[in-house]
Amino acid sequence: MQRREVLKAGFGLGVFGTLVGAGVLQPRLVLAARSQENAFKATKLDEALKALGADGAQVSDQIVLGAPDIAENGAVVPIEIESKIPNTEAIALFIDKNPNALSAFFQFTPEALPRVKTRVKMGQSSDVVAVVKAGGKYYMTKKEVKVTLGGCGG
Amino acid sequence: MAGPMRIRAQIQGDVVNVRALMSHPMETGLRKDSSGNTIPAHYITEVVASVNGKPVLTAEWSGAISTNPYFEFDVKAKAGDKITLKWVDNKGESQEQSVDVK
């Protein structure tokens, strides 16, 4: 699947080049394309889940979502996600009430363990949703984080 | 570009725990400055982690990742292996940093 996408991207480059040359596309926009670009652009959680193909995700207790109950500073909220589901291929992190729900999408090879930890911004109290893709199926878990001071207003 | 990337790789049994701190403003494009002008989006869109040059983990990010991103993960590696992190942002800027596992 991925190799096919890479090949397709290769074939597409000629067209991209022409469009860039014609000034239709800004080069930086081409560079910025992520594999889940449509899901990143979605504003609402359900739209983002759908764009990812994960709208039917099954609730699982095999996903460990580490997040604080209360975040005093919404600009720096530590989030840790670990999947105990065999053959985990990807983990997606959504913040329901952020302007764009999808915050991060991690893809794993068998050489990496399905655990990641990072820090995110949260504009307000919200559900944090972790989605795991394993064996072609989607699983999810969520946790509410209360934010004392929003992290998107600067 | 602000400072360099800081990476710490620590052997924990048969895996290596990697902790990285990148230097990046991570502007969402939604904030306004004091005179009301929108601050343009400027954030890391992709991070690729490699072991001895072979990609093992990819992270795609939005501007919701905090300023100066922290990223921790575990890879199957051993002493002497080289772990490399490379990020690319929405302006096409990039930074790459490697660390040898000891």
Average pLDDT over residues B4-14: 95
Residue position matching structure tokens 């990285």 = B20
Q: Is a pLDDT exceeding 70 seen at residue A50?
A: yes
What is the CATH class of A36-149? mainly beta
- Which residue in chain A is spatially nearest to B73 when comparing CA positions? A116
Mean pLDDT across the stretch B13-17? 95
Report d(CA A72, CA A150) in Å as an integer.
9
Query: What residues are paired with B12 via a beta bridge?
Result: B15
Q: Which of A105, A119, A152 has the highest number of chain B CBs within 10 A, making it the mutation to test binding with B?
A: A119
Taking only the tens place, the pLDDT of each residue in A15-31 is 444 544 444 444 444 45
* pTM metric for this prediction: 0.86
Give the DSSP H/E element, type plus range, for residue A41: helix A37-41
Domain B6-29+38-94: homologous superfamily in CATH:
Immunoglobulins (2.60.40.10)
Q: Where in chain A is the domain with CATH 2.60.40.2470?
A: 36-149
Contact B66 A153 (CB under 8 A): no
Q: Which residues of B touch A75 (CB under 8 A)?
A: 66-67
> Could you tell me where the beta strands, DSSP code E, fall in A24-111?
58-59, 63-66, 70-73, 77-83, 88-95, 102-108
pLDDT of residue A149: 82
pLDDT cut 70: percent of chain B above it? 98
